[in-house]
């Protein structure tokens, strides 16, 4: 393993409130003071930014069950290209990750084929059906870092309460896809002006709002962490803002696509704009941006959801929900939030580092000496056009092909090993 000195970088470390120009050393996969490194490879990062490795709290790797759309190998390669050194793998695979054996398969495959850290997430319910609680103790022993039935939401409030209680006893955060199934039934896009004009069945924002309110009540009652995945409507942002002001242990994430797109995009009838929760109104988008800016939303997560071209090349009503996002998350959010002066760059870095680390209970997620050298390096001045054909992912289901963006990932380092290098 090589030793490195990364010189002349703008070092941003949100956990320690550091934003300085300086050097950082890596010896035997660990961060050290640059003065301690002997016989290093020196990498000049003048004009570049170096941060703790990004964590994606919401990634679908599709393996096992849909290797054509994505594999652990291709998904982690995409993560590295996007600047992520760790991804939380959602459990809605086929078969679902609801047993210790399924988690062990994921861990072994990731160790053999993955290039970034794969953090297993286990199902909250058996067979991902929302009927009976999964074996949370055995999942914890197998190494899961969180619990989720992502893609579905437990409708039985009593069952959800028991899951949260058990999750607390095993120190596992809940990551919840908040959606009332009855209110959302049959919908394919946001319920509003554009669903009426386009003659499509809508998904009411109330479907999300209702379950977020339920989760806030349970988090308050039980005193345990519930994280709201892909928040999308203004009412949800307001609920989270009020709950956090009361110190209820809830957090929320926003996706790059909900921060940059609206339901008006659906008029193109392009199935790459179909996701769940759906693209919402401009008022909802602005509320999300405000929530990111004021700290109500502490995490930006991709909800990377690969689908084959064949799966998406059908009528809009019949297409699966979801788009890929690992390789576009940083440039999209930098362009929308930092370049437009909504937030400062250290605040954006925090949404990808300390935000998800806090949800997962990772203490002192920083560039402190002695920690594993998981590093993200990017050029905030670089402008380019997104080209989906250059993606590392197996899939190409993105609405952002051809977008002009700013901020390019230059290098990703995991445990002192360079796993992505775009220096040319």
Residue 53 has which token pair? 């490795």
Q: What is the DSSP string of 102-132?
A: HHHHHHHHHHHH-SSEEEEEE-SBGGG-SSS
Neighbours of 14 (CB within 10 A): 23
Q: What is the DSSP string of 364-405?
A: T-S--TTSB--EEEEEEEEEEE--GGG-SSS----S-TT-EE
Grouping H, G, I as helix, E, B as strand and the rest as coil, residue 200 is coil
Dist. CA 162–CA 305, nearest whole Å: 29
Grouping H, G, I as helix, E, B as strand and the rest as coil, residue 51 is strand
- In contact, 7 and 21? CB cutoff 8 Å: no
Catalytic residue among 149, 150, 176, 303: 303
DSSP 101: H
Question: For this structure, is 149 an active site residue?
Answer: no
Dist. CA 117–CA 365, nearest whole Å: 15
Residue 27 forms beta bridges with which residues?
A: 30
Sign of CA dihedral 319, 321, 325, 328: positive
- In contact, 177 and 152? CB cutoff 8 Å: yes
Sequence-distant contacts of 37-44: CB under 8 A, at least 24 apart = 37/3, 37/4, 37/5, 38/3, 39/3, 40/2, 40/3, 40/4, 40/5, 41/2, 41/3, 41/4, 41/5, 42/4, 42/5, 42/7, 43/4, 43/5, 43/6, 43/7, 43/411, 44/7, 44/8
Contacts of 193 (CB under 8 A, 6+ apart): 263, 281
Catalytic residues: 303
């Amino acid at each position: 393993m090589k030793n490195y000195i990364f010189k002349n970088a703008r070092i941003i470390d949100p956990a320690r409130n550091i934003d300085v120009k300086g050097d950082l050393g890596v010896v035997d996969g660990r961060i050290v003071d640059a003065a301690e490194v002997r016989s290093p490879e020196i990498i000049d990062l003048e004009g570049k930014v170096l941060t703790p490795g990004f964590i994606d709290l919401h990634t679908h790797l599709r393996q096992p069950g849909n290797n054509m759309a994505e594999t652990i190998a291709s998904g982690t390669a995409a993560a590295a290209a996007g600047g992520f050194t760790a991804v939380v793998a959602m459990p809605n695979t086929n078969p679902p990750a609801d047993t210790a054996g399924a988690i062990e398969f994921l861990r072994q495959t990731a160790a053999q084929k993955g290039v970034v850290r794969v953090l297993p997430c286990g199902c909250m319910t058996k067979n991902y059906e929302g009927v009976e609680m999964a074996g949370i103790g055995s999942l914890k022993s197998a190494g899961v870092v969180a619990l989720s039935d992502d893609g579905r939401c437990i409708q039985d409030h009593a069952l959800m309460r028991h899951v949260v209680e058990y999750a607390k006893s095993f120190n596992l955060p809940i990551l919840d896809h908040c959606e009332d199934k009855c209110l959302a039934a049959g919908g394919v896009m946001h319920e509003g002006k554009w669903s009426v004009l386009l003659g499509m069945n809508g998904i009411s924002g109330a479907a999300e709002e209702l379950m977020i309110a339920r989760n806030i009540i349970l988090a308050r009652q039980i005193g345990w962490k519930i994280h709201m995945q892909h928040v999308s409507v203004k009412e949800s942002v307001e609920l989270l803002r009020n709950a956090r002001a009361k110190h209820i242990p809830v957090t929320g994430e926003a996706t790059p696509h909900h921060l940059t797109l609206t339901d008006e995009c659906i008029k193109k009838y392009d199935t790459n704009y179909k996701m769940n929760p759906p693209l919402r109104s401009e008022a909802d988008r602005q509320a999300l941006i405000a929530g990111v800016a004021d700290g109500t939303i502490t995490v930006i997560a991709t909800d990377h959801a690969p689908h084959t071209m064949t799966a998406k090349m059908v009528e809009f009503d019949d297409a699966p929900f979801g788009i890929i996002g690992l390789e576009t998350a940083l440039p999209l959010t930098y362009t929308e939030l930092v370049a437009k002066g909504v937030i400062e760059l250290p605040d954006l870095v925090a949404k990808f580092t300390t935000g998800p680390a806090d949800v997962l209970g990772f203490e002192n997620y920083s560039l402190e000496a002695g920690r594993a050298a998981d590093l993200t390096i990017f050029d905030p001045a670089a402008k380019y056009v997104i080209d989906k054909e250059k993606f590392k992912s197996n899939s190409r289901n993105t609405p952002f092909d051809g977008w002009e963006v700013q901020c390019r990932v230059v290098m990703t380092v995991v445990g002192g090993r360079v796993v992505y290098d775009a220096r040319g």
